[in-house]
Amino acid sequence: MAQQPTTPVDINNTLLCDPDSGICELPTRDATVSSKMILESSKTSKPIKLLYFTDPICSSCWGIEPQLRKLKLEYGNSIEIEYRMGGLLPDWSYNSGGISKPSDVAHHWDEVSVYYDMPIDGSVWLEDPLHSSYPPSIAFKAAQMQSNEKAILFLRAIREMVFLQKKNITKWEHLEDAARQSALSISSFKEAYEGTAKALFEADLLLSKEKGIRGFPTIIVMDTNGRQEWVYGSKSYSVYENAIIKLYPTIAKQSYNKEPITLFDHYASLTAKEFSVLSGIPRNECETVLDSLVKANMVEVLPTPNGNLWYKKRN
């Protein structure tokens, strides 16, 4: 079993995400790490960068997965999304926003699942609650050290685990499984998780503090001239798209194959909401189409109390 990283800094927070604003908000935080540890945003050859502050257990961030996935398909040639971890749950030594213990989160997750139309099973907080979101955040940074693309796959895997499969993603067995699913080198991942990745996570926390990030998701859209547009909270697709277009009016939108089964070549797993956003098929028709793919033995389905996940059939 891998050694579990200790909590790097003490940051108060709340897991009570506001569906109306689409924000999982942080109160004032006090960071103790040195500013020398901060990582400057890496340069990109693409004209637009989206600096995305998030957390593995942020339900509002799970709610914008459909929008982000569509942005990548339509504007992936011109935009880069840089993921930064925000530290939503350091530990349970606080009482804020009506959330003081794990069981308080369970019902809340069930409620926001309906609001965002994204399946979330809050039972994990009753059956095997997480003590912190720091271990999976550090694990993401460890994955990022190998490959940004694989790290994004890893983040998706651990989110599916915690939101849909009721798995406590602070445990090494689940982090290791997600790393394996994402084709990461397990030995390198474990070494980074127990070592350097902690400092990288601390740098993300400090960058978040220095930029005044107060909640998740927060996306800062930036061009190569330093101009910025901020999108704070879970918003509709057009809000993210318009922020990009404002900075890059001549950006070219890419076309992509929207055939139902082909979408699973882009993304190996899809919720009904994601399938609707990506395919253009009305939301109330999506389950029928997806279930027809299951009957045709082309995809498989993972049922959950608050909605299903469809995924490409494994050979």
Note the pLDDT tens digit of each residue in 223-279: 999 999 999 999 999 999 999 999 999 999 999 999 999 999 999 999 999 999 999
222, 40 in Cβ contact below 8 A?
no
* Nearest C-alpha neighbor of 119 from the set 165, 178, 175: 165
Give the count of domains, the chain: 2
Residue 30 counted as domain residue = no
Return the pLDDT at 26.
59
User: Tokens for 245?
Assistant: 């277009």
Alpha-carbon dihedral sign for residues 217, 17, 163, 167: positive
pLDDT tens track for 187-203: 999 999 999 999 999 99
Q: What is the dihedral angle through the alpha carbons of 88, 193, 51, 80, rounded to the nearest 10 degrees?
A: -140
Q: Are 63 and 205 in the same domain?
A: yes
Backbone angles phi, psi at 236, to 5 degrees: -70, 165
pLDDT at residue 29, as a whole number: 45
- We report the CATH number of the domain holding residue 174 as 3.40.30.10
pLDDT greater than 90 at residue 299: yes
Looking at residue 82, its pLDDT comes to 97
pLDDT tens, position by position, 104-134: 899 999 999 999 999 999 999 999 999 999 9
CA angle 160, 161, 165 (to 5 degrees): 100
Do 140 and 72 share a structural domain? yes
- pTM comes to 0.89
Query: Would residue 227 count as lying in a domain?
Result: no
| Banded pLDDT at 19 (limits 50, 70, 90) | low
User: Tell me, what's the pLDDT at 44?
Assistant: 60
Q: Is residue 143 part of a domain?
A: yes
User: Average of pLDDT values for 38-55?
Assistant: 77
pLDDT at 56: 98
Residues 137 and 281 in one domain: no
Residues 193 and 277 in one domain: no
Kindly state whether residues 180 and 61 are assigned to the same domain.
yes
Last residue of a domain, one of 152, 183, 216: 216
**What is residue 25's predicted lDDT score, i.e. its pLDDT?**
65
Considering the domain boundaries, does residue 273 fall inside one? yes
Give the domain-ending residue among 153, 187, 216: 216
pLDDT at residue 1 in the model:
57
- What's the whole-number average pLDDT of the chain? 89
Q: Is the pLDDT of residue 2 over 70?
A: no
Domain CATH for 280:
1.10.10.10
Q: Which of 32-36, 53-57, 171-175, 282-286 has the lowest mean pLDDT?
A: 32-36
The DSSP output letter for 43 is: P
- Is the domain of 203 the same as that of 55? yes
From 156, 102, 154, 106, select the one nearest 130 (Cα to Cα).
102
Centroid of chain to Cα 91: 20
Same domain, 92 and 195: yes
Cα separation, 66 vs 69, in Å, equals: 5
End position of a domain, from candidates 190, 216, 242: 216
Pair (206, 275) in one structural domain: no
Q: Do 203 and 268 belong together in one domain? A: no
From CA 282, how far away is CA 95, in angstroms rounded? Answer: 41
Higher-confidence residue: 29 or 102?
A: 102
Give the pLDDT confidence score for residue 101 in this predicted structure. Answer: 87
Question: Can the peptide bond before residue 217 be classed as cis, meaning omega within 30 degrees of 0?
Answer: yes
Question: Is pLDDT of 135 > 70?
Answer: yes
What sign does the CA torsion over 171, 174, 178, 179 have?
positive
Compute the distance between CA of residue 170 and CA of residue 150 in angstroms, rounded to an integer: 19
pLDDT at 152 over 50: yes
Q: What are phi and psi of 126, to 5 degrees?
A: -100, -35
Domain that holds residue 282: 263-312
- Output the six-digit token pair for 114: 């309906």
